[in-house]
Amino acid sequence: MPTVVICSTSFEGLHRWPEAPDDVFFLRYPHRHIFHVKLAVRVSHDDRDVEFISLKRSLDGFIQRKYPLPKSEAEVTPLSCEMIAREICFEFDAEWVEVWEDDENGARVEKARQ
């Protein structure tokens, strides 16, 4: 029976979507979110194969290095929830990763099945 352990965290970020359609034109400009992340990693046994707290610390460290708060408008990137989830999924060889904007709208990326 496949089992995953899951950790979650959140971080403040700014992003933009330069190609946003006219009905959400405001997304073309830098805007702030609290991004909520859930990370699921497969384990092979039920006795702390991956320890939750250690996994969360590793995730927080990756996020701090990869997605620091921009210091100027020129540094605001066009990263989507999907892009962030995909990068985290690859970094942690995760089964799936979810990234939500303000815990309201988000995306889930899953590992490809063979």
Q: What proportion of the chain, given as a percentage, has pLDDT over 90?
A: 95
- Which carries the bigger pLDDT value, residue 2 or residue 53? 53
Q: What is the pLDDT of residues 37-67, one digit of tens each?
A: 999 999 999 998 999 999 999 999 999 999 9
Q: Give the integer Cα–Cα distance in Å for 109 and 97.
A: 5
Q: Identify the CATH number of the domain in which residue 46 sits.
A: 3.30.479.10
Q: Residue 99: what pLDDT? A: 98
Q: Give the integer Cα–Cα distance in Å for 8 and 84.
A: 14
Question: Over the chain, what is the mean pLDDT?
Answer: 96
Name the nearest CA neighbour of 15 among 3, 5, 1, 27: 27
Total domain count for the chain? 1
Is residue 109 a contact partner of residue 40, using CB atoms and an 8 Å limit?
A: no
What's the pTM value of the predicted model, to 2 decimals?
Answer: 0.93
Query: SS3 of 40, please?
Result: strand
Domain hosting 58: range is: 3-110
Task: Give me the residues paired with residue 77 across strands.
Answer: 15
